[in-house]
Amino acid sequence: MKTPKIDWKKNSGLVPAIVQDAATLQVLMLGYMDAAALKKTLRTKKVAFFSRSKQRLWTKGESSKNFLHLVDVKVDCDQDTLLVTARPDGPTCHRGTVSCFGGGGASGAGFLAQLEQTVVARLRSGDKKSYTVRLAKEGVARVAQKVGEEGVETALAALKADKAEFAGEAADLLYHLVVLLRVKKMSLADALAVLEKRHAR
C-alpha cells in the first residue's frame, strides 16, 4: 500500500483520521495521525494514532487487544484528512461499544454486513439451539430450497396491499440468502463485486 500524499504542514503535523468498519462502513472513531503513526499503521497493518493527551504514538487495541486491522487508507481532496477502513477485533470505543459515536451497530445497508457477521459467528459456534446452525447442517440443497420458498413468498406478498407483510417476507429472503452464501463458502462481498462490475459498464 502506497503512502498517501499528505499536507503535514497544516495543524502542526497532525491530520484527522476517520476510521470506518471495512465490512459495514459504520464510522467507528476519529483519531489523529502524524507521519510516524501513519508509517507504523502501513507497516504493521494495525491502525496507530498520535495521542494528543499522552503525547505519544499508540496503537489502537494495545491495551484492550481490540485492534483495528488496516484495509485501506485514503486522503481527502485537501490532503489534510484521512479515511481509514479497517476490520475491528472487537468494540472500538473504550466504553465497550462498537463505535465511539453510539452504542448501536451498523444501520441501513451496512446492517446486511453485520447480519452476515452474526451468521458467521453462529455457524462457528455450532450451537444446536441456533436455527442458523440447524439449517446449515441440512446442507446446500435445503438452504437453497428455503431461499426458493422465501422468494416465492416475497413475490406473493408483493401482490398484496400489506406492506408490513411484504417487508417481513423480503427480510426472510435476505436472511436466508446470506446463509446460503456462507454455506457455499461465499459472502455478500462476492455478490456485490458482480453488481459493482456490472454498474461500471
Q: Which domains does the chain have, with CATH numbers?
A: 10-88 (3.10.20.810), 110-199 (1.10.287.1080)
List C-alpha distances in Å: 156 to 25, 77, 140, 163: 33, 48, 24, 12
Residue 1 has pLDDT above 80, yes or no: no
Residue 109 has pLDDT above 90, yes or no: no
Residue 11 has pLDDT above 90, yes or no: no
- Asked which of 32-41, 108-117, 123-132, 165-174 is least confident by mean pLDDT, the reply is 108-117
Alpha carbon distance 43, 191 (integer Å): 31
Give me the mean pLDDT over the 38-54 stretch: 95
- Please answer whether residues 150 and 176 qualify as being in contact, where contact means their C-beta atoms are separated by less than 8 angstroms: yes
pTM of the model: 0.77
pLDDT digits (tens, 9 = 90+) for 61-80: 999 999 999 999 999 999 99
Helix axes 163-183, 110-125, angle to 10 degrees: 50
Give me the mean pLDDT over the 31-47 stretch: 96
Give me the mean pLDDT over the 109-131 stretch: 94
Alpha carbon distance 10, 190 (integer Å): 40
* 100-105 contacts, C-beta under 8 A, 24 or more apart: 100/28, 100/29, 100/30, 101/27, 101/29, 105/24, 105/26
Alpha carbon distance 112, 191 (integer Å): 12
pLDDT at site 3: 79
Burial 68-99 (b: 16+ CB within 10 A, else e): bebbebebeeeebbbbbbbebeebbbeeeebb
Residue 17 has pLDDT above 90, yes or no: yes
